[in-house]
Amino acid sequence: MAQQPGTPFTGASPAQIDLIGTISISLMTIGAPFVVAWAKRLTPFAVSFSGGIMFGLSLILASFGTRLWHFQLTQGLLMGLGTSSSYMVAVTVAPAWFKVHRGLAMGIILSGTGVGGLVWAPALKACIDGIGFRNTLRLTGGISVALIAPASCALSWEPRTRAQLEVERTARVSRMDGVLKVPLVDARIARTRKFAAQAVGAIFQAGAYYTPVFFFASFASTLGYSATAGANFIAISNACNAVGKIIIGFASDHVGRLNTLLLTTLISAVATFGFWLPSTVSQEESSSRSLFVTFTIFYGIFASAYVSLFPATLLELFGVQNFASVNGVLYMVRGMATLVGTPVGGLLIRRSAANIGPQSFEGMSILVATLLSAATLAVLWVRIEAMVGADGKLQWLWKL
């Protein structure tokens, strides 16, 4: 649509259009501390239900947009707030309900993001071709409310957390106390090397993670694939995402969640260096296509595992009593990193007057690979800090 006359996106650059999704994804996690505070003061159901309404409303309002900034406000800002209210409640409430099979449980729960993407990508393309993008936005807005709002009924605090929150509620002096007050991380925890290591890893991984996902279809078009095929790449990635989270989550319960987090982050960095980067510089289209298909599969399986294993490892490292506040703050950090990393990746696309070729994405692929490598080193740092005992001495532990 950016290359067609008379559309809301005519003449817009990939980075400008990408900003819509970047704002949404970033706000999804930047709003985490506030959403956690609201869920504590009210109920997880109330916050998530409200998020479902905002999510659907954002799509319906976007259907009336006539300028690029209209979509940045609706599908970006409003959808980000709606997504945060639903998604962050789920990933904060869920881990505490599980212990022995926490990795598998979070893998199954968060595989929903992959299943959703697998269904939505081709479905949206078919709807846009059949009824136009505006009617598609209205249709998906209604469907989203119908799916998210009832699903919110399943969300509630685990009994120990609920009892702790009851004590906190009785200590409040006003009705608004706890709604406006953001739960900050305990200073003693924030000063630990363990917390610093997790924060550094979260920054680097989030700065890289969504960039390939947002540009799958754009890069596929430079290899000669159609718009339909580009949507299928997103679907393939999400299918691998769903299956990978469940299998890797199951494996993490047996070999250690931190061990698995380290391995999967390393593989995602290697896959970017080994498959996506070569596909941008290869002179043979067939070779570039094969490399990119391989990258799509590996990245979908292993990079997404960080998302499901991250909250599970936080619970183990910092305990149930500190989990909600630590989770909220570190997810906020991830959102800020996404807000910077993905637009920078978009700006690295080298455009020419004639067209955009696969070589235009070389800088982006290098950035993503470098950030994921840095994230791997940070997770290794977390792994080492987790072996430090109460006496300050390093003790080798295999299963972490």
3-state SS track over 264-305: HHHHHHHHHHHHHHHHHHCCCHHHHHHHHHHHHHHHHHHHCH
CA nearest to 376, candidates 212, 262, 229, 217: 262
Tokens of 199: 């924060």
Q: Is residue 400 part of a domain?
A: no
- Contacts of residue 4, defined as CB under 8 A and 6 or more positions apart, other chains included, come to 10
In a domain, 5, yes or no: no
Nearest by Cα to 50 from 34, 69, 26: 34
- Count: domains in the chain: 1
4 assigned to some structural domain: no
Residue 180 is predicted with a pLDDT of: 57
Q: Residue 150: inside a domain, yes or no?
A: yes
The Cβ of residue 163 has, within 10 Å, a number of other Cβ atoms equal to: 10
CA–CA dist 258, 313 (Å, integer): 6
pLDDT of residue 369: 96
Residues of the chain with pLDDT under 70: 169, 171-184, 350-355, 390
Residue 299 confidence (pLDDT): 93
Residue span of the structural domain in which 241 resides: 14-156+180-385
Q: Give residue 352's pLDDT.
A: 47
CB 300 within 8 A of CB 237: yes
Predicted TM-score (pTM) of the model is 0.81
**Is 166 within a domain?**
no
Query: What amino acid occupies position 255?
Result: V
Tens digit of pLDDT for each residue in 199-254? 999 999 999 998 898 888 888 888 988 877 877 888 888 888 888 899 999 999 98
The label of the residue with tokens 């906190």 reads 168
User: Do 30 and 335 touch, CB atoms closer than 8 A?
Assistant: yes
> What is the CB neighbour count within 10 angstroms for residue 382?
23
Residue 44 in any domain: the answer is yes
Q: Does residue 69 fall inside a structural domain?
A: yes
Among 331, 90, 36, smallest CA distance to 198 is for: 331
**By C-alpha distance, which of 66, 86, 92 is closest to 144?**
86
Task: Kindly state whether residue 189 falls inside one of the protein's structural domains.
Answer: yes
Look at phi and psi of residue 388 and say left if phi exceeds 0, alpha if psi is from -120 to 50, else beta.
Answer: beta
Calculate the alpha carbon distances from 295 to 240, 269, 351 in Å: 11, 11, 23
pLDDT the model gives residue 355:
56
The CATH number covering residue 66 comes to 1.20.1250.20
- The whole-number pLDDT of residue 248 equals 92
